[in-house]
Amino acid sequence: MTVQTELRYLSQTDLKQLGADHSDAFIQAIEEGLRLHAKQEFVQPLKPYLRWPDAPHIADRIIAMPCYLGGENPIAGIKWIGSRQHNPSKFDIPRASAVIILNDAQTNYPVAIMEASLISAMRTAAITGVATKYLAKKDFSDVSIIGCGPIAQMQVQTLLEQYQSIKTIHLYDLSAVAADRLISQFAGNFPSVEFVIHPSAQAAVEQADVLVTCTVSDAPYIPYSWLKKGCFVSNISIMDIEKEVFVKADKVIVDDWDQSNREKKVINQLVEEGKFSREALHAELGEIVLGEVVGRENDDEIILLNPMGMAIDDIVCARWFYQAALAKDAGTKLPLF
């Protein structure tokens, strides 16, 4: 066995050259990660949130997300992702930035470090992309996106690349500029898809066969009454959906129960209030992907996915691109000694 004693650095440009500018690689990797999660072939400590007093917004934090991942090529790693809400307005830079470090599972030596903001955004979109296959109505046509920033852009890209049945993308954002920017990014490449900007969140939500929340809201505002029959909700930004939806929805699904039932998020609040429990949960998403639990069973079900985001998602995608980089000798090799 050859022991790695060098570190391979992959920039965002390197990752795009390996396929990270398209959703296909992320869909494949995330499905594999969810299967490994369902088979318990992972170790994933609860992620700590690092915050300090002069960072008051819910999005002001650095998160450490470590994971060991089994399968054919076992590997360990960590994503270190920082975010400040004022970054775009104050510094003209994206809100979040991240790096991923991968470690060889035999020696525990670091073998790769890569830019991770693209991976982080695209793997989050791939969760919606994979879940939509199992939880949305067949041949759905209307997607509603609440919040039109960078996370929304990746969600729209993934859904349009993966699902040809989409006819209309309904948009709402507090900033009309953000919605216009999103449309300009995709309208030219998807001329058969209509993009509609709505005057309120309610107007956009009410149209949704698939609803994706992409905001930095710190308080719920979407009630059950806004959801039409058969809606699949991918609650990416976690705090947008009112508590009653978790109680009234036909099925509630998470990516990982332990990760979801913490940090005073909505599920955690409901559990502490005695209104929700592990037993009330329909499934973890990996159980559905693995075929252990059925996803959607009819076109009238309202199904809510509440994915907290797992280190597994990041590390399985990083492993995919690291393997691709080894095969193509991509990136920059840095000596450890």
Indicate which CATH number applies to the domain containing 180. 3.40.50.720
Is residue 35 included in any domain, yes or no? yes
Q: What token pair was written down for 184?
A: 């300009």
Residue-wise pLDDT for 3-59, tens only, equals: 667 899 999 999 999 999 999 999 999 999 999 999 999 999 988 999 999 888 888
Pairing of strands 332-335, 6-10: antiparallel
- Tell me: do 183 and 49 sit in the same domain: no
Nearest to 202 by CA among 163, 144, 275: 144
Instruction: Measure the CA–CA gap between 1 and 11, rounded to whole angstroms.
Output: 28
Is residue 323 included in any domain, yes or no? yes
Domain count for the chain: 2
Helix (H, G, I), strand (E, B) or coil at 256: coil
- Tell me: do 329 and 245 sit in the same domain: no
Instruction: Measure the CA–CA gap between 233 and 242, rounded to whole angstroms.
Output: 12
Helix (H, G, I), strand (E, B) or coil at 284: strand
Cα dist from 28 to 15, 38, 186, whole Å: 16, 16, 23
Cα dist from 310 to 63, 75, 149, 316, 329, whole Å: 11, 15, 21, 10, 28
Q: Considering the entire predicted model, what is its pTM?
A: 0.93
Exposed/middle/buried for 203, CB within 10 Å: 0-12, 13-18, 19+? middle
- Tell me: do 224 and 326 sit in the same domain: no
| Residue 333 dihedral angles phi and psi, to the nearest 5° | -90, 125
Is residue 63 included in any domain, yes or no? yes
| Angle formed by the axes of helices 150-162 and 176-186, nearest 10° | 30
Is residue 130 included in any domain, yes or no? no
Q: What token pair was written down for 113?
A: 């470090």
- Tell me: do 255 and 140 sit in the same domain: yes
Nearest to 95 by CA among 131, 55, 67: 55
Structural domain of 206: 136-309
Share the mean pLDDT of the chain: 95
Q: Which of 16, 47, 79, 275 is catalytic?
A: 79
Is residue 223 included in any domain, yes or no? yes
Q: How confident is the model at residue 1 (pLDDT cuts 50, 70, 90)?
A: low
- Tell me: do 201 and 250 sit in the same domain: yes
List, as one string, the DSSP characters of 109-165. -EEEEEE-HHHHHHHHHHHHHHHHHHHSPTT--EEEEE--SHHHHHHHHHHHHH-TT
Instruction: Measure the CA–CA gap between 76 and 43, rounded to whole angstroms.
Output: 9
The whole-number average pLDDT for the span 61-85 is 95
- Do 241 and 220 form a contact (C-beta atoms < 8 A)? yes
Tell me which of 219-223, 254-258, 260-264 is least confident: 260-264
- Do 62 and 81 form a contact (C-beta atoms < 8 A)? yes
**Amino acid at position 130, single letter:** V
- Tell me: do 169 and 206 sit in the same domain: yes
Q: How confident is the model at residue 305 (pLDDT cuts 50, 70, 90)?
A: very high
Q: Is 275 a catalytic site residue? A: no
Residue-wise pLDDT for 270-279, tens only, equals: 999 999 999 9
Nearest to 208 by CA among 253, 162, 169: 169
Q: What token pair was written down for 337?
A: 């000694």
pLDDT of residue 36: 97
pLDDT of residue 72: 87
Cα dist from 331 to 10, 13, 313, 326, 327, whole Å: 5, 9, 22, 9, 11
Cα dist from 144 to 48, 127, 214, 291, 306, whole Å: 31, 16, 10, 28, 16
Q: How does DSSP classify residue 48?
A: P
- Tell me: do 236 and 198 sit in the same domain: yes
Is residue 126 included in any domain, yes or no? no
Is residue 125 included in any domain, yes or no? no
- Tell me: do 157 and 304 sit in the same domain: yes
- Do 74 and 68 form a contact (C-beta atoms < 8 A)? yes
In the predicted structure, residue 307 carries a pLDDT above the cut 60: yes
- Tell me: do 178 and 265 sit in the same domain: yes
- Tell me: do 162 and 296 sit in the same domain: yes
The whole-number average pLDDT for the span 107-125 is 96
Tokens 């075929």, located at residue: 291
In the predicted structure, residue 2 carries a pLDDT above the cut 70: no
- Tell me: do 141 and 283 sit in the same domain: yes
Give the domain CATH number at 98. 3.30.1780.10
Tokens 């693995």, located at residue: 290
Is residue 124 included in any domain, yes or no? no
- Tell me: do 145 and 287 sit in the same domain: yes
